[in-house]
Amino acid sequence: MSTQKYQGREAIIAELRGSALWLKMDEEKRPNGDLTDLLRLVSHDPDVRVVVLTGAAEKIFCVGGGGKGAGDTMQERDAYWFGGMQLARDVILAALDCEKPIVGRINGHAVGKGCSIALCCDVTVMAEEAKIGDTHVKVGLAAGDGGSLLWPYIVGPLLARRYLLTGDLLTGKEAERIGLVTESVPRAEIDARTEYWVGRLMEGAPAAITMTKRALSAWVRKQAADHLDMSLGLETLTFMTEDHREGSAALVERRAPKFSGR
Nearest C-alpha neighbor of 149 from the set 31, 229, 52, 51: 229
Q: What does the pLDDT read at residue 67?
A: 46
pLDDT tens-digit series, residues 198-248: 999 999 999 999 999 999 999 999 999 999 999 999 999 999 999 999 999
Burial of 259: CB neighbours in 10 Å, binned 0-12, 13-18, 19+: middle
Region 131-159 average pLDDT: 96
57: burial class by Cβ within 10 Å (0-12, 13-18, 19+)?
A: middle
What are the sequence ranges of the domains in the chain? 4-187+205-253
| Per-residue pLDDT reduced to its tens digit, 109-119 | 999 999 999 99
- Relative to beta strand 12-17, strand 20-25 is antiparallel
- Give the pLDDT mean for 24-31: 85
45-94 pLDDT, tens digit per residue, is 999 999 999 999 889 999 875 444 455 556 666 676 777 888 899 999 99
pLDDT in tens, 240-252: 999 999 999 999 9
Class of domain 4-187+205-253 (CATH, top level): alpha beta
Q: 229, 90 in Cβ contact below 8 A?
A: no
